[in-house]
Amino acid sequence: MSTDPLPPLRLEEARARMLAGVGALAAETVPLLDALERVLAEDVHARDTLPPWDDSAMDGYAVRAADTSAAQRDRPVVLRVVGEVAAGHTAAGSVEPGTAQRILTGAMLPPGADAVVRVEDTDAPAGTAALPERVAIHVPVGVGASIRVAGSDVRAGDLVAAAGTRLTAHRIGAMAAAGRAQVAVHRRPRVAVLATGDELVPPGTPLDGGRITDSSSSGVAAQVMDAGGVPVALGIAADDRGSIRDRLRAGIETADIVVVCGGVSLGAHDEVRPALDEVGRVDLWRVAIQPGKPLAFGRATSTDGRTVLLFGLPGNPVSSFVTFELFVRPVLHRMAGRSGAGGRTIIRARLTDPVSTDGARRAFQRVTLERGTDGGTQARLSGGQGSHVLSALLAANGLAIVPEGIAELPAGAEVEVMVLDDPGWPEEEG
Ligand code: AMP
Ligand code: MG
């Protein structure tokens, strides 16, 4: 049992203390694809005007619009085809009255032309036919028809994306179009992860003699990557203060954050708190959440003078998962320059089962989200809610939040759910 005399902290209070003084990490310039999911540390301005010149939005014929004004389907206007301009080439000559040039999508408009007639509106075959001598135009077109005007998208020097923009996949191409092969983004936070416990063996090792697999540190390392950080494995330390301390020191020298899984309670073999005290300034808190035992948090200074955050999370895999989500993930987001308190979507859903909690702490229950018969979203408990129950975590795609002060919720009650794995749109019925 904790002997901490202070009442448990509210989640928001604990999180605010952890985030205090944390800012976005320094910028580094990286090749464009390495910037995926990272946050711009510079304003990106367009190098070029886009489109850079008037070009065709269609495959068709570049014409003078006035030449087509009398065109009808049964009485077409016939123009002499004097050339062709394909994408990536410049026109050989200009379009004079009574003439046309075949043009392909994205090709530069030849001088003299002020409109494009779509190939479908001519007698010319679409595709790779030989250049015809003449083309019959079946419909009149106005000036500017099927033309993408230079600068209609972006002008050289325009701000394309401001510092702070997250470079999701749908924004990377725009950086390339702005003329950038590299961009400045915030450095990824490095997170050293240490497992502690005499009972732990690495994944894949046969179990005997009371040993169990260290699953929490793999889970935490994956959460680090998912939150935009780079995990650094510190391995497994026995419940021995000296060995924990030495690995913590190694972590402090290489990482922005050190996360220790396990050993953070006040049990007879819980050596993490004293080891943390030897390497930094540490508080042990109780936070009013469930799961979530006492949680250690503090700061250390590396030999090169950097402030490194220290987190001691409970060792049970469900507890380490939930406490990482609630506390470490928001810090990683802040360091990576992302806005928001951790970036998980919160939705509302109806419980399919009654839920009971201890009432004193905010509870995070593993649930599976599903579509109800009324079309709304419902949340089904994905299994036992004990902190060691991996099967329920495995089946879950959300964490249902039961506020403090509420001990019982009936089936059908609406709750907020943090979405862990968005299943996306349902498959089309075919
Ligand atoms: P602790 O937080 O060290 O008191 O551990 C609480 C429970 O979680 C115990 O049953 C431990 O065996 C288990 N545990 C601790 N660390 C890990 C880990 N890295 N992976 C899996 N289980 C762990
Ligand atoms: Mg332990």
Written in H, E and C, the secondary structure of 286-315 is CECEECCCCEEEEEEECCCCCEEEEEEECC
Range of the domain at 85: 55-148
Least distant ligand from the CA of 316: 1
Q: Ligand 1 centre from 155 Cα, in Å?
A: 58
Q: Which residues surround ligand 2, an ion (CB under 5 A)?
A: 197, 262-263
Let me know whether 307 and 361 are in one domain.
Answer: no
Let me know whether 140 and 100 are in one domain.
Answer: yes
Contact (CB, 8 A) for 94 and 160: no
- Residue closest via CA to ligand 1's atom 8 equals 316
Let me know whether 317 and 201 are in one domain.
Answer: yes
Let me know whether 71 and 112 are in one domain.
Answer: yes
Q: Which residues line ligand 1 (CB under 6 A)?
A: 195, 197, 199-200, 212, 214-217, 261-265, 267, 314-317
- The ligand 1 atom at the shortest distance from the C-alpha of residue 217 is 19
* 328 domain residue, yes or no: yes
* 294 domain residue, yes or no: yes
Let me know whether 244 and 281 are in one domain.
Answer: yes
> What CATH number is associated with residue 92?
2.170.190.11
Least distant ligand from the CA of 197: 2
Residue 311 pairs in a beta bridge with: 259, 297
User: 10 Å Cβ neighbour count for 128?
Assistant: 5
* 173 domain residue, yes or no: yes
Distance CA 168, CA 354 (A): 39
Let me know whether 273 and 384 are in one domain.
Answer: no
Distance of CA 3 to the CA centre of its chain: 40
Scored b (16 or more CB within 10 A) or e, 350-372 reads ebbeebebeeebbbbbbbbbeee
- Six token digits for residue 373: 């018969």
Let me know whether 243 and 176 are in one domain.
Answer: no
Distance CA 235, CA 244 (A): 10
Domain stop point among 148, 176, 208? 148
Domain stop point among 148, 175, 206? 148
Least distant ligand from the CA of 269: 2
Q: What phi-psi label fits residue 351: left (phi over 0), alpha (psi between -120 and 50 degrees) or beta?
A: beta
Task: Tell me the pLDDT of the chain (430 aa) as tens digits.
Answer: 445 457 889 999 999 999 999 999 999 999 999 999 999 999 999 999 999 999 999 999 999 999 999 999 999 999 999 999 999 999 889 999 999 999 999 999 999 999 999 999 999 988 778 999 999 999 999 999 999 999 999 999 999 999 999 999 999 999 999 999 999 999 999 999 999 999 999 999 999 999 999 999 999 999 999 999 999 999 999 999 999 999 999 999 999 999 999 998 878 788 999 999 999 999 878 899 999 878 999 999 999 999 999 999 999 999 999 999 999 999 999 999 998 777 789 999 999 999 999 999 999 999 999 998 888 999 999 998 888 888 999 999 999 999 999 999 999 999 999 999 887 776 766 5
DSSP string computed for 211-270: -EE--HHHHHHHHHHHTT-EEEEEEEE-S-HHHHHHHHHHHHHH-SEEEEES--SSSTT-
Let me know whether 321 and 194 are in one domain.
Answer: yes
Distance CA 191, CA 220 (A): 10
Q: Ligand 1 centre from 116 Cα, in Å?
A: 70
Q: Ligand 2 centre from 235 Cα, in Å?
A: 14
Let me know whether 218 and 253 are in one domain.
Answer: yes
Q: Ligand 2 centre from 403 Cα, in Å?
A: 29
Let me know whether 244 and 163 are in one domain.
Answer: no
> What CATH number is associated with residue 281?
3.40.980.10
pTM: 0.91
Q: Which residue has the tokens 């943390």?
A: 276
Let me know whether 195 and 331 are in one domain.
Answer: yes
Query: How many domains would you assign to the chain?
Result: 4
Let me know whether 250 and 195 are in one domain.
Answer: yes
- Residue closest via CA to ligand 1's atom 22 equals 316
